Amino acid sequence: MTKLQITVDIVLFTILERQLHVLLIRRLAEPFRGSYALPGGFVLENESVDEAAHRELREETGVEKVFLEQLYTFGEPNRDPRGRVITVAYYALVANSHILRSGTDAADAAWFALNKLPPVAFDHQNIIEYAQQRLRNKLDYSNVGFELLPEKFTLTELQLVHEAILGANLDKRNFRRKILQQGIVEPSKEWQKTGRKPAQLYRFVD
Amino acid sequence: MTKLQITVDIVLFTILERQLHVLLIRRLAEPFRGSYALPGGFVLENESVDEAAHRELREETGVEKVFLEQLYTFGEPNRDPRGRVITVAYYALVANSHILRSGTDAADAAWFALNKLPPVAFDHQNIIEYAQQRLRNKLDYSNVGFELLPEKFTLTELQLVHEAILGANLDKRNFRRKILQQGIVEPSKEWQKTGRKPAQLYRFVD
DNA sequence: TCAAAAGTGTTGAAGATACACCCATGG
DNA sequence: CCATGGGTGTATCTTCAACACTTTTGA
């Protein structure tokens, strides 16, 4: 009897060039050596599953203190050729200002746009699609969009985040009205001066 | 090193006396011997986690072919005093016309209204609350309510299901209009004759 | 004839959608 | 001076919420 094992896998999203991207890591070991896979690893004896997800994300990508939420548990008997491995999938969001640590674990990590994914190991393609769907749904009834932005942001940047997640264009005036009358942002005293015309920087309020 | 184990636990809902009820089973073994717990058990080597949930539900309650959906995975290290046990929680819905099998496994199974739960073992109280919340949310954007009714039902019965899940009263005219214009029910040719005035029996259409 | 549950429309408020132009700045 | 992206209002439609009486039947 082979031992049953539990892993966590994390779908880490960010926005790059107005598109939703996912972090993948090239596998150095068999099986699926050389192909890309989600960051993740085994759950240790004395940590919760949530802690394992945070730890693996930190070890493999250097990313800490991010939004991280459990997604679904994938438990088909043959999803991993090494034996019986059940994985608890998570998804996480980082602003693109976060920088990936270049360490041994993260040696070959890279961001991929969702419509340009390479072939991925195991059932990770499924997991990624499931995460994307969850993120879209969640955008409707929560403030999850802010997790993909730095502390201060313009309303146009926020709109681009929503458009990237939904994969659709939104009307600028309707979007701004909706966000402002929800009262979930407040103007900071700063203006973004990098564009043609200065733009008001906002901050998320809880 | 103690072996890591995976269980499934199932929150089985039904409607009794206009109230949402949960099925609990009295434990015959330590720990928590004599207290109530959710039906569930260990995931076997060659079955998927979903299959394990279906199997445990069948074995412990006799219930088959019901709506069953994964809820959340609870993985705190000390949630089970026997050792490291991670549980994948599910919730399931049955019409109250389904009858519990009286077998050895289900010897002491009983339905409890959600506001009259006895003390329950492990972290099962949490799991039940989580399931109730999920069910409420799901009612808004899905047809999950029909799973708690027999094939043919009156609109008033459907409304009572919604009210039981939401814990609130609904306006009859608004409710009926909403359901009918969604086009998710069709009138059958039968009428329910048990009440004072005959009521149209409807059927769910997909 | 009375009690109980079935069935049926309208109105007002709020929220969502569609739509186009002027402004400030850097190059 | 022009190209770029920032910023702003209104009209319409759809959706949701509030609200009360008549009908059929069994007891």
Does B179 lie in the same domain as B106? Answer: no
Q: Find the mean pLDDT for residues B144-148.
A: 97
pLDDT for the residue A112:
96
In chain B, % of residues over pLDDT 70: 94
- Domain hosting B187: range is 149-204
The gap between B196 CA and C1 C1' (Å) is 15
Q: Do A48 and B76 touch (CB under 8 A)?
A: yes
Give nucleotides in strand D with any atom < 7 A to a protein C-beta.
3-10, 16-20, 23-26
Q: Give CA–CA dist B57/B66, Å, rounded.
A: 10
Residue nearest to nucleotide D16 (CA to C1'): B174
Do the Cβ atoms of B75 and A49 come within 8 Å? yes
Does any strand D atom come closer than 7 Å to the Cβ of A173?
yes
Q: What is the rounded CA–CA span in Å between residue B12 and residue A44?
A: 31
Q: Do A48 and B5 touch (CB under 8 A)?
A: no
Which nucleotide's C1' sits nearest to the alpha carbon of B196? D25
| A115-130 residue pLDDT tens | 999 999 999 999 999 9
B12 and B80 within one domain: yes
A4, A71, A74, A87, best to mutate vs chain B, most B CBs in 10 Å:
A4
Same domain, B83 and B177: no
Quickly state the pLDDT bin for A150 (edges 50, 70, 90).
very high
Residue B13 shares a structural domain with residue B74: yes
**Residue A202: predicted pLDDT:** 98
Which of the four pLDDT bands, split at 50, 70 and 90, describes residue B98?
low
Any idea which residue has 């608890």 for tokens? A88
What is the model's pLDDT at position A196? Answer: 87
pLDDT reported for residue A3: 84
Asked whether the beta carbons of B31 and B82 are under 8 A apart, the reply is: yes
Same-domain pairing of B36 and B103 = yes
At B108 the pLDDT is 86
Q: Please report the pLDDT score of residue B195 as a whole number.
A: 80
pLDDT tens digits along A182-200:
999 999 999 999 988 999 9
CATH number of the domain that B122 lies in? 3.90.79.10
pLDDT at A98: 65
- Taking residues B153-161, what's their average pLDDT? 98
Binned at pLDDT 50, 70 and 90, residue B96 comes out as: confident
A19-59 pLDDT tens trace:
999 999 999 999 999 999 999 999 999 999 999 999 999 99
Q: Stretch B189-195: mean pLDDT, rounded?
A: 93
Number of folded domains in chain A? 2
Asked if strand D comes closer than 7 Å to A185 Cβ, the answer is no
Q: Quick one: closest CA in A to B74, which residue? A: A49
What confidence score (pLDDT) does residue A108 get?
A: 86
* A146, part of any domain: no
pLDDT at A12 over 90: yes
Cβ-defined contact of A3 to B6 (cutoff 8 Å): no
Distance A171 CA to C17 C1' (A): 9
Whether A204 shows a pLDDT value over 70: the answer reads yes
Averaged over B126-155, what is the pLDDT? Answer: 97
Where is the domain boundary, B89, B110, B141?
B141
Q: What's the whole-number mean pLDDT along residues A152-166? A: 97
Of residues A2 and A206, more confidence is placed in A206
**A2–chain B nearest CA distance, Å:** 8
Residues of A in Cβ contact (< 8 Å) with B86: 6, 43, 49, 88
**Are residues B16 and B100 in contact, defined by beta-carbon separation less than 8 angstroms?**
no
Among B141, B164, B189, the domain boundary falls at: B141
Instruction: State whether B119 and B67 are in the same domain.
Output: yes
Confidence of residue B2 (pLDDT cuts 50, 70, 90): low
Smallest CA–CA distance, residue B136 to chain A, in Å, is 14
B172 touches strand D (CB under 7 A): yes
* CB-CB neighbors (< 8 A) of B47 in chain A: 77
Q: What is the pLDDT of residue A49?
A: 98
Q: Are residues B97 and B179 in the same domain?
A: no
For A118, the 3-state DSSP assignment is coil
pLDDT tens track for B46-84:
999 999 999 999 999 989 999 999 999 999 999 999 999
- Among chain A, residues having any CB pair with chain B shorter than 8 Å are 1-6, 43, 45-50, 52, 70, 72-73, 75-77, 84, 86, 88
Residues in B touching A52 (Cβ below 8 Å): 75
Measured CA to CA, the distance from residue B163 to residue A150 in angstroms comes to 42
Q: Which residues in chain A are contacts of B50 at CB distance < 8 A?
A: 75
- Read out DSSP for chain B? -PPPEEEEEEEEEEEETTEEEEEEEE--SSSSTTSEE-SEEEPPTTS-HHHHHHHHHHHHH---S-EEEEEEEE--TTSSTTS-EEEEEEEEE--TTS-----STTTTEEEEEGGGPPPBSTTHHHHHHHHHHHHHHHHHHS-GGGGGS-SEE-HHHHHHHHHHHHTS---HHHHHHHHHHHT-EEEEEEEE-SSSS-EEEEEE--
Same domain, B130 and B167: no
Question: What are the pLDDT digits (tens) for A68-117?
Answer: 999 999 999 999 999 999 999 999 999 976 666 654 455 689 999 999 99
Last residue of a domain, one of A141, A171, A190: A141
